[in-house]
Structures are given as structure tokens and as C-alpha cells.
Amino acid sequence: MIKDILNQNEDIQANNKQIDVLKEHFPACFKADGSFDLERFRTEITDNTNVVQEGYELKFLGKSYAKLLASTDTTTVIQPDEAHNSLPENAGSENIYISGDNLDGLKHLLKSYNKSIKCIYIDPPYNTGSDGFVYFDNFNYTKETLQEKLSISEEEAVRILDLTKRGSASHSAWLMFMYSRLLLAKDLLTNDGVIFISIDDNEQANLKLLCDDVFGEENFLECITWNKRIPKNDKGIGNIHENILLYVRNGSYKHEFTVGKEGIEDIDKLVGKLKRGKIPLPDAELEIKALYKKKGYDRGITLYNSIGSDYRLWGKINMSWPNAETFGPRYEIIHPKTGEPVKIPDRGWRWIKDTFDDAANIENGKYKTVKELADGSFICGRIWFDKNNTTQPSSITYLDEVEKFLLRSVISLKSDGGIELENLFEGKSFFSYPKPTALLKLLIGSVSFLQKSDIVLDFFSGSATTAHAVMQHNAEYGGNRKFIAVQLPEVLSPDVDAQKIAYEFLQENKLPSTLDYIGIERIKRAAAKIKEEHPDKVLDLGFKHYTLAEPNQNTLDKLDSFDKSGLLADTTIMDDFGKPTILTTWLNADGYSLTAEAEAIDLAGYTAYHCNKHLYLIESGFTLESMKALLGRYDAEGKFNPENLVLFGYSFPDWSINEMIEKNLRILNDSEKNLKINFSVRY
């Protein structure tokens, strides 16, 4: 457990993660002494890879240190909030809220959710100088240790330690903070997974280069501009936008980001009203255009007009070749009225001739149907022509056939996340400019390959907008997408103006005075509101809560002084951690997820815990009679077949018990059932 991890971390180097990847995929490139054969590696990849000597990368103070942090395992344990998790609305929930440092949270998640997260959204600190970001960590490395592990000079080691111990808000400190977390986040993504990262212009350029390093420049899709409509004018210009970087885990997978047509419901409602009133088409068109103008709809919908007696809405799409670097086909298109060729676009047509003929309903060189509109233009099949042949024709798309369109690189939303949050908390304002759920619902909903039971992760949860948005999206569009939220339990103070309101609210409601409990309370209130608005829907509106805890010094001293050769178990060590914490931490570490449940198994009065392929012995008191009962289970119950027997070492200092267990397992392994049961002791 903790002692084992501390021992393992002693040997960790900054590039351990990268070396492990190479060993997995290129084992032949490692010699018997463990050294890496670069020339053999070059031979392995040169057949299909262009190997270049020049390199381009973002370098900053602490980059190798960030890699080291990403490679070392966390010594925190996972404490389940038993009172909260056992409530009826939470007991069966698969949503997760983690209170703890997100660096530790990501390391824990990787043990059960490696390559399992389809979508990540984060809104990290922007390092503006006013957002409170200062880098600290509690890794007690000495300059000598860093020199050895990172192969750096004494001067550089001192500068890195200065960043981590005294605190810094420099670009290097922020990049070091983000780099270690993004390295871990990448490994959580499924092969077709995506990550959205909100950022402003202060660190956008650096973050782009950092993400190119982590995810690969070829996996960058877009830097989305979010028009937040809340101007910031401290530089003499009204800044009303932020950026959202979009990367994918693997660009070779097909990724499409689509959103619903804005205002579809409003338009359908108006069209229905116009039909029922038998309003003449010219007047109906005026009313529809007035709605577009009033709502300020996206260009993708404002071009639609009514045509024909059925009030069907349609739009025109340019027929010219869209690629500025190449040319499309060139052929004559005859105007249906004048009989003359229309102007060919400079770069050619978007379609080949046969495709155009099919769309225009041409047979034997003639248009089968020609419909003249009130404004003198013409419709032939799915092609629109102006009054004469001087204007290029356009293809037609009907609104009722296109429910979605591609997510735009510029997003404009009128929603205000601050007001939204205040409405949940009786007008109280806890956060400066929280993201609106409308933005998160748009981003989450745009991931067309996000299945209805996939996981959305936010490891900078803040006000818990992502968790709220996932629940709201499920309620409005169906599905059972799950959220995992991680938030640092920053201690709030009534003496800090920006924290005073939140502190007083938590005190009034008898909640811990840490920032994570604002997010927890927001999820509860949002869930209650969603349930009220959707009473007939079966939704997962609960969540399991876990806290990441570092063992205190007293416990660490006990671990360090524990005598394996002693005869008496140190039950105080188990009490320090707590059986639920040990079990939850182990279940997650063994890949069963944070929400997994272990079944209590009675073995002649001793309680063991069984989950799939693992059987856990945590408490002392395991006897020969318990062993016999265990062997009887293996022999009599066909479905009972745990392949791993795990002991909490501090409860079993008497090696005669361990020897007894190992002896009987060998007998069982050699029996007719031919079982292969692994036995391990964790400290």
C-alpha cells in the first residue's frame, strides 16, 4: 500500500513512463543490461517513418520535473464518504466526485479508468495574476535527488525547488503544473477520446505548444473562440472572448462534432401557427425572417425561407469548389429560363457533372421540372437558379432534413454562468465568471461519437458546471452519461474578500469550509431542480463522494517502524486508515473502479472481501479454521474462484500465518482443479 508505493517511487526516473511504452512496443530494442539500442530502434521505424534530425519543442524550467511527478505514484488513499454514498439517491449512482489534488486524482483514476474516458473538459487557472494561481507542491525532493533523477545541474535543481517551495505564478510554474496533469489525462482518454481545454489569451499560445507536445500536433483539431459576451476592458479594449483548445487522442479515428440547429423548436412552433392560420406565403416569410432577426440565429439557419404551399423551409449552399489550393471540375450548366450557360466559378464546381445532373433532375440533357418562384428565380430538383444566367446556381437543403450541423469554431452564447449559479444559491455569488451549462452541454453534445453511457471527466471541477451539464444533457436528450469531477478542497477564509460569501454559506449550512463543498452542494441543488423539471424520467442524479487523504506523520512513523518479524498485529495502523478506505483504495488499484462493491465473505467467523478475481484479507484473526473454510469455498462453489489473495501486511506480522496460507494455496494449486492463485502481502 503506502509503504510499497514509497519504496517504488525511490527508483522512479523522469522518463519512466516513456521507457515503459518503448519496452511494451519495442522489446527487441533493449539489451540484456536494460540499455536502449537506438540504432536498432531507428531500423525498426525507418521503413515507414521519415526520421529527421531537427526538432521543435516547448522548453521551460521544470519540464523534466513535471515528467517525474507524472511518473511517481500517489501515496494518498481513497476515503469513501460512507454516510453520503449510502443515501438512496447515491447508493447506485455511477457519478463520482473526488475531493483532492487533481494530480493525485488522475493517478488513482488511471488504475481503473485507463483508456476509458471518452470526453474531458477542463477549465484550469488562467495564470492571469489575479486568479489566485500560485504553484506549490509537497514533494520533498532535495537538490541532490533532483540532480540525480533529472540529470540536471545544481543551479537548475535549485531553481526548480524554488518554484515548488516558495510558490510562483510564472509561465514556467504554470506550464510545469499543467504538463504533469495533461500527461496523465492523455492516458485516460479512449483511442477516439477528446479533450476540451478552456483558456484565455494569457497562456493560450503556451498551452497550444504544451498540448502539441503531450497529444501530438497532428491531433490538434481547433482553437474554438467562445464569445462570452461579458467584456473585460482593463487593456483599453472590450475583450469578450475566451479560447477552447480541442485535441483528440488519435487523429486516425473519425471525429465529427455536430450540434443541433439553433432555434429549431421556435421555428417549428411558428411554422405550425402560420399553417393553421393559412397565412399567405409572402406574409409568412416576413414573420419567419422577423423571428430570425429577433433571435439572432446562426448564419446556418438565417438563410432559410419558405417555398411552396407546404411552408417548407430551405436554404442555399454555394456550388463553387471549396478548396482554395486545388481546382474542381469545369463543365457548362445551362440556365433553365435563358438557355444560356451560367458563369463557371473561378476554381470550378463542387460536384462532378453526374452528381449535378441527378440533383437538378436532368434527363436527356433537359430539366424534367422547372418551378418559377415569386421573386423570378427558379427551382429545378435540388438546384436553385437566379432570374438570369449571371449568378451561379446553388444546391438546396431543406431544414427538416438537417437536424444538425458541424460545431462552429466561433461559439456565441447569451447564457450567463454567474446568474445560473446565483439562481441555485438564492442570489449568492461564489465564483467569478463560472462557465454556463449551455456551453458545456453544447460541447458534450457535439461529440457525436460520445455514447449514451460514456464518462465525461472534469479534473478542474470548480463550481461543478460540467457535472451539472452532464445531468442536464441526460435529462433533455436522453442517455446515462456519467461524470467524474475532481476538485481541490481549498480551505476558505472569511478574511479573504473573494472567499467570504462562500465561507459564510458553508458555515450557515454546517458544511466543511472548503471549496469542494460548494461544488458538492451545487450538484445536489441542480439534481433536485432537474428532477422537479423531469419528474417522469429515470435519471442518475446522485453521485459517490471520495476524499484523497495523505497519511499523517504519526501513521507514516508507524509504517516506518513496523516490525515484520513481530508476533502481534499493529491494529492501530488499520484503524488509522479505516477498513473502508483500504478496501476502496485496493479495489480501485486493482482495476475495479471507484464505484465497485466487494462482497463480505464469512470464513469461520473471519470476514474477507471478495470482488471478481480478488479476495482481500484486511483484519487480523485469520486462523487455520478460516483457511479450511476458504478451501471449502474453492472446492464447493464453482463460481467462487478468486485468482489473487491479498493480505494487509500490518494485520499479519506473524509469518506462521502467511506460511500456513502459502502452504495450503500450493496444495490447492496442485489439486485436480489446477488453480493458479497468486498470493501477495501489501504494506
- How far apart are the C-alpha atoms of 477 and 273, rounded to whole Å? 25
Question: If DSSP codes are grouped into helix, strand and coil, which group holds residue 650?
Answer: helix
Mean pLDDT, all residues of the chain = 89
Residues 60 and 189 both lie in one domain: yes
What does the pLDDT read at residue 373?
Answer: 84
What is the spatial distance between Cα 69 and Cα 165, in angstroms, rounded to a whole number? 15
- For residues 566 and 98, the answer to whether their CB atoms sit within 8 Å is no
What value does the mean pLDDT take over residues 272-284? 84
Q: Is 1 within 8 Å of 648 (Cβ atoms)?
A: yes
Nearest CA among 659, 548, 578, 494 for reference residue 99: 548
Say if residue 70 is in the same domain as residue 122.
yes
In a domain? residue 42: no
Beta strands at 117-122 and 383-385: parallel, antiparallel or unpaired: unpaired
Write out pLDDT tens, residues 420-433: 999 999 988 888 88
Overall average pLDDT of the 71-86 stretch: 97
Name the domain boundary from 517, 547, 577.
Answer: 547
Could you give the percent of the chain with pLDDT greater than 70? Answer: 92
pLDDT per residue as tens digits for the range 243-252: 999 999 998 8
Q: What is the mean pLDDT of residues 312-341?
A: 90
The answer to whether the CB of 657 falls within 8 A of the CB of 569 is: no
- Distance from C-alpha of 175 to C-alpha of 67, rounded to nearest angstrom: 12
DSSP state of 406: E
Longest Cα–Cα distance of the chain, Å, equals: 104
- The 3-class SS string of 81-92 reads CHHHHCCHHHHC
Same domain flag for 345 and 485 = no
pLDDT for the residue numbered 673:
65
Is 526 found in the same domain as 423?
yes
Same domain, 389 and 426: no
Least confident of 261-265, 462-466, 573-577: 261-265
DSSP β-bridge partners for residue 546: 80, 98
* Joined grid coordinates for residue 195: 479533450
Task: Please check whether residues 601 and 642 belong to one and the same domain.
Answer: yes
Mean local confidence (pLDDT), 81-98:
97
Sign of CA dihedral 66, 484, 437, 193: positive
308 within some domain: no
Q: What is the per-residue pLDDT for 539?
A: 96
Tell me the sheet residues that pair with 603. 606
Distance between CA atoms of residues 584 and 1, nearest Å: 12
Domains: count for the chain: 3
Query: What are the tens digits of pLDDT across the range 527-541?
Result: 999 999 999 999 999
Distances from the Cα of 216 to the Cαs of 211, 219, 221, 368, in angstroms?
7, 5, 11, 52
Q: Of 487, 517, 547, which residue sits at a domain end?
A: 547
What pLDDT shows up at residue 194?
97
Distances (CA, A) of 8 to 11, 16, 71, 646: 6, 12, 11, 18
Asked whether 515 and 434 are in contact (CB, 8 A), the reply is no
Helix/strand/coil (H, E, C) string of 539-571?
A: CCCCCEEEEEECCCHHHHHHHHHCCCCCCCCCH
pLDDT at residue 89 tops 90: yes
Q: Which CATH number does the domain housing residue 125 bear?
A: 3.40.50.150
Domain boundary among 512, 547, 582: 547
- Of 15-29, 346-360, 605-619, which range is least confident? 15-29
The torsion of the CA quartet 53, 56, 59, 64, rounded to 10 degrees, works out to -50
Asked if residue 306 is part of any domain, the answer here is no
Residue 47 lies in a domain: no
- From 585, 587, 586, 560, select the one nearest 573 (Cα to Cα): 560
Q: What is the dihedral angle through the alpha carbons of 249, 250, 253, 254, rounded to the nearest 10 degrees?
A: 60
Taking alpha carbons only, the member of 653, 660, 656 closest to residue 681 is 653
**Whether residue 504 sits in one domain with residue 378:** no
Examine the domain organization and report whether 582 and 676 are in the same domain: yes
Summarize pLDDT for 285-302 with one digit per residue, the tens. 888 888 877 876 654 444
Let me know if residue 519 belongs to a domain. yes
Q: Residue 44 — pLDDT band, cuts 50, 70, 90?
A: low
Assess if residue 37 is contained within a domain: no
Q: Do 361 and 457 have their domain in common? A: no
Residue span of the structural domain in which 346 resides: 319-396
Q: Is residue 195 within 8 Å of 247, Cβ to Cβ?
A: yes
Higher pLDDT pick, 306 / 407 = 407
Report yes or no: 226 and 411 within 8 Å, Cβ to Cβ.
Answer: yes
Residues 541 and 588 both lie in one domain: no
User: Is residue 10 packed enough to be buried (19+ CB in 10 Å), middle (13-18) or exposed (0-12)?
Assistant: exposed
Question: Quick one: 383 and 450 in the same domain?
Answer: no
Same domain, 589 and 525: no
Read off the pLDDT of residues 165-190 as tens digits, 9 standing for 90 and up.
888 889 999 999 999 999 999 999 99
pLDDT of residue 301: 47
pLDDT exceeds 70 at position 308 = no
Which is nearest to 520 in space by CA: 70, 96, 200, 213? 96
Examine residue 12 and state whether it is found in any structural domain, yes or no: no
